[in-house]
Structure 1
C-alpha cells in the first residue's frame, strides 16, 4: 500500500495528517468491514424475523388478542355503566310510569269526570240559574240600598279599624318614642361615643408618633446601613471577583479549549471521519463484491448444473416422450380406423381431383408428411 504523494486538498494538512490517516485507514478496514458485514447480516435477519415471525405473530396472535380484550373491556363497561340504567329504565321507570298514567287515566275517566258532570248538571247549573233569577229581581229593590248601607258601614269600619288606630299610634306612641330615642342617641353621642372616639384617635396618634414612627425610622436606617456598609461592598466584591475570574481564568481557559477543540477537529476528527466514510464505502463495495461472488458461486454450484441438466437431459427426454406419445396416438387412430372399416365398410371415396389436391395448395393431400425438424438447439 503506497502513501498518497499528492498535497492535501485543504492546503493546511501536512505530514501529521498523513501519519494519522494511514493507521486509521488500516484500523477502519479491520474494524468497519466486519461491522458492515455484521450489520448487513443483522438487517437481513431482522427483515426475515419481521416477515416470518413478528408479522404472523401480530396478525394471528396479538391482533385477535387485542380485539378480544377490546370487546371484553367494552362489554364490561356496558355491563357496569350502561346496562344497569337500561334495565332500570326499561323494567322499572317505564312500567311504573305506565302504571301511574293508567291509574290517573282511570281515576279521571271513572271518578273525576263523572263527578264533574254530575255537579255541573244537578248542582252548579241550577244554583247558578236560581242566583241569577234572585239577582235580577232583588238587585233593583233590595241589593242596591243594602249595598249603599254596607258601603257606608264598611267605610266607617275601615276608617275605625285600619286608619285611625295607625294615626293614633303614630301621633301618640311612635313620634314621642322616636323623639326620645333621638334625644337619647344625641346624649350618648355627645357624652359617650365622641369622647371615646377622640380618646381612641389620640391613642392611635400617640402610638404612631412615639412607637411606630421611631421603630419604622430605625428599621429603615438599619436597612440602609446594612445595604450601604454590608450588601453593597459584598456585591461589588462579588462582581469584581466574577469579572476577574471570567477575565483571567474562564476566558483564557475557554479560548484554550476552543483552540484545542478546533485543532482536534481539524487534525484528528476530520481525518478520522473522512477515513471512516471511506472505509464505510470500501466495506460496502467489498460486501457487494462478496455478494456478487456468492451469487456467482451459487450459480456455478446450483444454477448452471441445473440448467445443464434441464437443457441436455430433461429437454431431450421430454421431446422423446412427446414423439412416443404422438406415434402411439397415430397408431391408435389408425387401429380405430381399420376396425371401423372392417365393421362398417369403407367411407365414400372423394373425387381424385379433390383428394389429390387441397384447396389453394399445390401439395398433394395424401403426401407423406415430412420429418419434424426441431429448432436448432442453443449450445451451452
Structure 2
C-alpha cells in the first residue's frame, strides 16, 4: 500500500504524459538523431571525396591516362598490323609485279613476236605457196592429161578392148602419177618437213637457253632473295615488335596497377583505417548507448505505468550468476524487502 502513497515519478505530470513523452524521446534519440548524424557524415564524406579525390583523380589522372592508352594502342596496332603490310606492298610486291610485267612484255616483244613473224614469213607462207603451186600443177599436169588419156582410152577402147587401153593407162597415167606422188612426198619431206623440224628444234633450244632457263634462274634467285632479304627480316621484325609490344603492355599494366594503388587503393585503405574504422567504432558505441537507453526507458515506463521496480538486464544477471544484485545495478526499493520476506 506504500506504492499507492508514492508520488508520481515525473514530478506530478501524471502517467499519461510520461507514457507519451518517453516514447517520443526514445524515437528521437534512437532513430532520428543517429540517422541524421549518419546521413550528415556520409554526405560530408561524399562531398569531400568528390571534391578532393575523385574529381581531381578523374580530371588530372584517369582522363589523360585513358587518352594516352588509346593513342598508344592505336599507334601499336598501326605499327604491328598496318605499316608492315603497307611497306611490304609498296616496296616489295608492287615492284616485283612491275618487274614481272616488264619481263613478260620484253619476252613477248623480243622473243615471241619475232618468232611468230619468222614462222609466218619463212614457214607458213612458203608452205601455203607450195601447196597452191601443187594444186595448180595438179590441175595443169594431172587432170588435163588424165582427161586426154580418158578420151584416148575411150577412143582406143573402141578400137581395142583390153590390151591397148590397159597398157596406155599404165604407161601414161598410173606410172606418172606414182612418180609424181613419190617426187611430191620427197620434196615435201626435203624442203618442208626437214627445215620445219630443224627450225622447231633450234627454236626450242633457243627458247630454253635464252628464255626458260634465265627466267627459271631469275625466279629462283628472286624467291631466294625475297625470302632472305624480305620475308625473314620481316618475320624477325614482327617477332621483335610482338615482344616489345608485350613488354610495353606489361610495363603499362604494372604502371596502371601502381597508379591505381597510389591513387585509389592506398587512399582507400587510409580512409578505411583512419576514417571508416573510427566512425564504425563511434556508431557501435552510439548503438550500445542507445540500446542501454532503450532498456532504461523501458524500465522507467514499466515503473511509471505499473509501479514495479526496474528489472535487471539479462546481461547483469548473467554476470552475477543468477544473483538478485549486480555491481552496476541500482539498490532495490524498500517495498521489495517485505514482499520477499513474505
- Bigger relative contact order (CA 8 A; separation at least 6): 1
Scaled by the length of structure 1, the TM-score of the pair is 0.32
What's the TM-score, normalizing by structure 2? 0.35
